[in-house]
Amino acid sequence: MTAKLLPYSSLPAERIGRHAPARLPATIRLGTVHLTVADLARSLAFYESVLGFRVLARTGAAAGQSATAALGVAGSDEALVQLHEQPGARPVPARGRLGIYHLAVLLPTRADLGGFLRHARGRGLHVGSSDHKYSEATYITDPDGFTVEVYRDRSRAEWQVSEQGEVQSALDTLDVAGVLAAAGDAPWQGLPAGTTIGHLHFYTGSLPDAAAFYHSALGFDIETWSLSGALFVGAGGYHHHLGLNVWAAGSPVATEADARLLRWELWLPDAGSRDAAAARLQAAGYAVDPTPDGPIATDPWGIRVLLRAAAPGQA
């Protein structure tokens, strides 16, 4: 029997997802994603010319520190991605290593997605695509083998849930013609103002262990749990801020010799919610280390999250 599907808006918020024992605030957001790359100039050519990021700041290698570049978008001085050069870093293999699966750049509108898709195709690049029901997504691979998803969300009124409150996902064929048409004749001018890091997706070694860290301790709700080998977790009813899968289970964890995720940042609305999340992780037995920017917690596969607190009035 096919499960009955309902409009997302037909269920009250308290019935969406499987709630964490102590939930993250609905107003969390993802911050800077830090990646190591083998050749900074090569990566910048891709992240600027193909993806459309702007370089906000750049440092050279000195005193044992790697060369870096902070990347953002028009109208904001916040870095969405920071690249750290590590000459000789091994590229990500096709099946991946335990660690990052992809980072996902969220565009404000369907027209923006159409503009990006037309731009990337015009450069002769291979662009994957999919319709996830709640979003329309494209995928492209950077020079180190990292997958970057570029997507747009449908409005929540268009999402579907099961009677049990599970947000419905799919891997349907993208309406490429419709997405391209939405862009009209507007020229591509890079990533628009309002672009954010919408979600991250990780290769993990065990879904129960991933749920223990990200759901039970950190506090994300499980929004989708019926996918094969994956859980999608989020806050505030969002379809997912993090994807957690075991599709590369058995692969090695990314090491210091590899192009890899150094850390990602989770912004909480205040110091109290940040400290509470850190305390839950520490109480559950996970490593939590203090830094000047906030506590960093490490999951079972070496994925590090920096917990940050918004200044008053900036949440």
Domain-embedded: residue 177: yes
| Tens digit of each residue's pLDDT (9 = 90 or more) over 287-315 | 999 999 999 999 999 999 999 998 655 55
Indicate the number of domains in the chain.
Answer: 1
pLDDT of residue 65: 82
pLDDT digits (tens, 9 = 90+) for 14-60: 999 999 999 999 999 999 999 999 999 999 999 999 999 999 999 98
**Residue 274 maps to a domain:** yes
Residues 201-243 pLDDT 10s: 999 999 999 999 999 999 999 999 999 999 999 999 999 999 9
Q: What CATH number does the domain containing 130 carry?
A: 3.10.180.10
In a domain, residue 60? The reply is yes
Q: Is residue 103 part of a domain?
A: yes
Whether residue 315 is contained in a domain is answered as: no
pTM comes to 0.96
CA-based nearest residue to 291, from 276, 310, 308, 270: 308
Domain-located, residue 314 = no
Question: Within a domain: residue 67?
Answer: yes
* Range of the structural domain that residue 255 is part of: 5-309
Percent of the chain with pLDDT over 90: 92
In this prediction, residues 147-175 reach a mean pLDDT of 97
* Residue 8 confidence (pLDDT): 97
